[in-house]
Chain A
Amino acid sequence: MKREKLKNLIDIKDLSVKEIDDLIKVANDIITHKDKYSKKCEGKILATLFFEPSTRTRLSFESAMLRLGGRVLGFSDANCSSTTKGETLGDTIETVSGYADIIAMRHPKEGAPAVASKRASIPIINAGDGGHNHPTQTLTDLLTISREKGRLDNLTIGLCGDLKFGRTIHSIIGAMSRYKNIKFILISPEELKLPDYTITEVLEKNNIEYIETNDLEKYMSELDILYMTRVQKERFFNEADYLRLKDYYILNKKKLEKAKKDLCIMHPLPRVSEISTDVDDDPRAKYFEQAHNGVYIRMALILKLLEVK
């Protein structure tokens, strides 16, 4: 059954391939004609409700709304909200629905944005829920791949690092699996391998070719995209496991010797030690462009959800 219009963005699967293509088109237009969009959201308010700390995502949402001429309110820590007084998420959301026109929320609990969308009378954007979903990061990644490679199909994509808890990894696999001739090289230590259900329910179900390895350099020469991720301390219950795994992969100039000349190196940031700073001036390093693209795709998304033409 076809959905009438997009009300919220909770999961990247909420968007059809055509809707993603349209958002990328608008984002590209914003990049070329920034002035055209500078007053599109005048009089509109974005609430950024961050129950878990984040710098990049929150600032990119705020920057997106400010660049559209709108205004922003919110909090960046659950300790600054009524959650500390025992208020439920549902009550917080219902209240804020009267203060703003659209909400971007991050929450440590998985599924929190889905709960919020049931209580809100305004659009909800999931800005990350635990290790579950982070759809605007995926949109940012898709915009970056599309701009750097000129296509979203016929790509060999290396995903490296924490494939178990990395929400950006799960989302990008789901999104890219809908495009033709995609091959994944899944590079991780044994303990951080992609969950079995993602392999059976996404990769195998869609007949997507994949290889699992723990060797970062083995398939380097085949890659069109190398997507590095951070081993996230906050996802571990046991600090000893985190310390053992955090420096498992470190990408440096030497490891890139066999890589293609047009390889696109991506990272959702923040990085800790998984990409050596000597890679930063390599023209194939695109992670800062990727972070900048996040603002433009979020601008496109806000326009779509607020139905601003």
Chain B
Amino acid sequence: MNIDTIKNGYVIDHITAGNAIKIYRLLNLEKLDLVVALITNVKSNKTKTKDLLKIGKLIDIDLDKIAFIDPDVTINIVKNNKIIEKKKLELPERLINVCKCNNPRCITSTERNLDQIFNLTDKENKVYRCNYCEMMLEKDKFLY
């Protein structure tokens, strides 16, 4: 398969296989007028397989969203066909409007105009809790 290299943009590498589509959706890339290449199950030396995401423009991207999905990715910033920076990410301390609280008793289920906020309470086990009701964030409850 041949995917053209990009002149300006991002190459998000070392994405755990299966996660690229989540990043694509969480960054709302389908709504932007951009060239995007989403490649899944690429053979990798580090892990058995990985995903890759190429974005053909240097847009503002929310690194916290990417880090939340997959903190081990590498973000290559490409300018004039050259990688000018390689970024490593860390789990964000706070997620704002990335995920939705699943607790029907939480105030976020009724109060209008309230940000959905989650705080990292256990870094080792990647546990996030709702800022309001402290309910643990359930996997994949994203706000797409």
Contacts and interface: CB of A to CB of B under 8 A. Distances in A.
Contacts of B107: 89, 107, 109-112, 114-115, 129
Contacts of B131: 111, 114
B51 to A, nearest CB: 31
Interface string B13-46: 0000000000000000000000000000000000
A107 B109 CA distance: 13
Contacts of A107: 107
Contacts of A131: 105
Nearest to A116: B107
Contacts of B109: 109
Interface string A100-137: 00000001111110110000000000000111100000
A201 B106 contact: no
Contacts of A112: 107, 111, 132
B121 A201 contact: yes
Contact of A115 (B103, B111, B136): B111
Given A109-B105, A110-B106, A88 B111 contact: yes
Interface string A187-226: 0000000000100010000000000000000000000000
B1 to A, nearest CB: 45
Nearest to B133: A110
A90 interface: yes
> How large, as a class, is the contact surface on chain B?
20 to 34
A110 B131 CA distance: 10
A110 B121 contact: no
A197 B133 contact: no
Interface residues of A, number: 17
A110 B112 contact: no
Interface string B103-117: 101111111111000
B96 to A, nearest CB: 14
A107 B130 CA distance: 17
B114 A115 contact: yes
Contacts of A129: 107
A152 B42 CA distance: 60
B134 A132 contact: yes
B60 interface: no
A100 to B, nearest CB: 21
A129 B121 CA distance: 21
A90 B111 contact: yes
Given A107-B107, A110-B103, A111-B107, A88 B113 contact: yes
Interface string A58-97: 0000000000000000000000000000001110000000
A197 B122 CA distance: 11
B103 to A, nearest CB: 7
A129 to B, nearest CB: 8
Interface of A: 88-90, 107-112, 114-115, 129-132, 197, 201
Q: Which 7 A-B pairs have the closest CB atoms?
A: A111-B132, A110-B133, A109-B107, A111-B107, A111-B133, A112-B107, A130-B105
11 contacts: A89-B111, A90-B111, A110-B105, A111-B106, A111-B134, A112-B111, A115-B111, A115-B114, A132-B105, A132-B133, A132-B134
